[in-house]
Each structure stands twice: as structure tokens, then as C-alpha cells.
Amino acid sequence: MQQRPPSTPRRVRAAHESKSATVRAAAAAPSRRQLSKWQREQRQQRSLYIAVGVLAVLVLAILAGGAIYDNVIRANEVVAQIGSDSVTASQLVDAMRPQVRFIDAQTKQAGSGTNLTQYADSQKRDLPDSTLNNLIDQHLIAQEAARRGIAVSASDIDERERQTVADFNAASTPQPTVEPTGTPEAAATPGAAATLQAGATPDASATAAAAAAAAASPSVLASPTPVPTLDAAGYGPALQQVLDRNNLTEAELRDQLQQSLLREKVSEAIGQDQAPANEEQVHARHILVPTEDQAKDVLQQLQNGADFATLATQLSTDPGSKTQGGDLGWFPRGVMDKAFEDAAFALQPGQLSDVVHGTNGYHVIQVLERDPSRPVAPDQLQNLRQKAFSDWLTGRRSSPDVKLQLSQAERDWVLARIGVRP
């Protein structure tokens, strides 16, 4: 039997080897048409890659541009100009944040619900305008302080912070109740006598009154001008309570105290300039009635010899002066209604005014005395100086170098930064 030679494994050709000779020849020596096609396909592929890359770069550029515009350009847009000073949108947002935290904390304490959320949002929507007005005031006050050489030192702020914390602690810490004993001897003990002025010699009635006052008002302090203090161990926890209660950092608290102190100093300086302690004053009395005809009748009676005090007691509708015969005491300019004041300062002692139409009715005025330089009563002086500062600040707010530039788009940006949908 004839033997066959051993079979060898069949070789499997690769794909490119399975091509026909024509194909292999074409691949080895492509025609100009094939080369042109391949080159065209390569160019199209490169163009596609470039287009995709350019599109990706454009998308990234748009996103980056939007972020830059939103976080840099928009944030640095000026929303108020105060002379050489300016307030940017980001500064406005930063100034609003303590109040936003306070509103959020109050809302959280009140509970949850749609109505509470809407109420909180409505409060936050008012913040851009109110906060911007406060910032404008701060700049105006700081500029005036710089012009006058007024400054607030770190020690001033330290002292005001200690006082604020101590006041808060005294108000929030229950005070022990002093039990009255009912006997003069017991009332004269140091605890009961603490309400008496230092150096006084208490008698039985005085010590009993002191004990009763201490029982009714346990927080009465011995010093007429008390300054509350806290020891080192109690100060830290009390300060933290103040910060927690108001949702502030200590830096924010100190900034608020600094602004408050500067405002007080500028207010005092302007008040002293515009409302001196001694001013021209008149001592006058008046009769106030509701109608002009009645006032004319009162004036006729006075001119015919009627007693001013008697008519004032009988007819005047001013409850503060009618029981005094219409007597208003001494007053400088700036205290009364302007029409009343102009009429009063035009009179000499003993003269009667014509009928004066004021905000509360019709007056007949008589000046009793005049003094070209008389000390102003403390309460009147305080009111005059506060009014002088208020008038100054109002005038500065409306001056041409103060410009509000908060547009609706900027307002929407500010609200979005504090979590309120425009």
C-alpha cells in the first residue's frame, strides 16, 4: 500500500494577502486617481478634527468668558459713586451678607413653609437698596471725618466692644431679686442702700424708699453713670453669645462698631458747629385754636384787654401748654414749626402776633422776653444737634457728586448672589 506524505497544516493568509494580484499591485503602486482620493480623505479627516477642536475651544471660551464676565466684570461694575469713592456690585453683596445670614437664621427659627420662604425672600429683595444707602452714608461720613481730622482708634473700638458685650450680658442674665424687709434698720443695709447716692445720710423714709425701689427695679445700679464690665473668664462666652445672636463674625461686629463710633463723632462735630450751646431765644406763649375765624376772635379779645392766660386755659387746644396759660418757655430757632418760629422771633416783648397758620391749627402768639445769647436747654440742644446732622446728611445724599448707578441687571446679579431668584 502506497503511503502518502505527511500533510502540513494549511496556512491561513492574512487579509491583505488574500487580495488579488491586481489589488496588491494597486496598493504597491497606486494610481494618481487613488492617491488623490486618499489625500482628499485625509484632508477631510484633518478638517473634521480641526473643526471639532475649534468648536471645543469656542465652547470653553464662551464658558470662560461668561464666568469672567459674571465673576469679574459684573462684580466690579460701579453701582454708586460718592465723590472720588465708588461702591462695586461685589462690595454691595459683601455688605449684605450679615443681614442675609440674620434673615436666614430668623426664618429657620420660625419653622418652615412656603409663606416663611416668600417672606424671607421679600426681605432680601429690599436689601440692595437699603444696604447701598447705608454704604453711601458711610462713605459720606468717612469723607467728612477725613476732612475734619476725625478718627476712630482701635482702643475706641475695644472699649465699645467691651461695653456692648457687657450690656448684652447684663440684659440677658437674670438679676437676683432683692427682698424688702419692711424695717428701716434692715433697709439701711448695704444691699438696700446701694441705690442711694454715695455720701448721703439716709433717714428712715429714705432707706425705706430705697428698699422699695430696689425690690421693684433690681437692676438699679449705684453709680449714676454705670459702665458694665465682665471679667476675663466671662467675657469670651458673652462675646460669642453676641456674635451668635446677631449672626456676625467678630470682624463684622468690630466694623459695625467702628462705623457707629465714626458716625457719632462726625454727628457731634457737625452739631456743635451748627447748633451752639448758646443761642438767641425767646420766651413766648400762645393760644392754639382749630379755625382761622376763632383765632381772629381770640386776637380781638386780647387786643380789647382780655387776659392771655385765662383765654389760653379756656380755649387753647394745645394740651402741653394750656394748663400753663399757654406758656411755652424759652426756645431757640429750629425747635418750633417754621411759620410759628418766624412770627415769634419777629416780635418784641409784650407784642402780639397776627393769626399764624401752623401745622396743627391757628395760633396767636405773645413774646414775653428775648435773650440774644441764652444757654439752650439740654434736651433742646440734643434735638437741634441731631437735626443738624440729619439735615447735613440729607443734603450730602442729594448733592451732584453722589450718583446711584444700580441698574436692574446689576440688581438681579446682586440678588442671585444671595440666593434670591430675580
Residue spans of the domains in the chain: they are 31-73, 91-172+227-277+404-422, 279-375
Question: What are the pLDDT digits (tens) for 214-253?
Answer: 333 333 333 334 445 678 788 999 999 999 999 999 999 9
Measured CA to CA, the distance from residue 371 to residue 89 in angstroms comes to 54
Rounded CA-CA distance 375/378 in Å is 9
- Cβ(181)–Cβ(193) below 8 Å: no
pLDDT of residue 190: 36
**What does the pLDDT read at residue 64?**
58
| Residue 92 grid cell | 454691595
Mind listing the pLDDT tens digit for each residue in 105-156? 988 888 777 788 888 989 999 999 999 999 999 999 999 999 999 999 999 9
| pLDDT tens readout for residues 151-162 | 999 999 999 999
DSSP 47: H
178: confidence class by pLDDT, cuts 50, 70, 90: low
**Phi, psi for residue 140 in degrees, rounded to 5:** -60, -45
CATH number for the domain whose boundaries are 279-375: 3.10.50.40
Higher pLDDT, 179 or 323: 323
**55-83, pLDDT tens digit by residue?**
777 777 666 555 565 666 888 999 999 99
pTM of this structure: 0.68
* pLDDT tens-digit series, residues 347-365: 999 999 999 999 999 999 9
Q: Does residue 222 contact residue 195 with C-beta atoms inside 8 Å?
A: yes
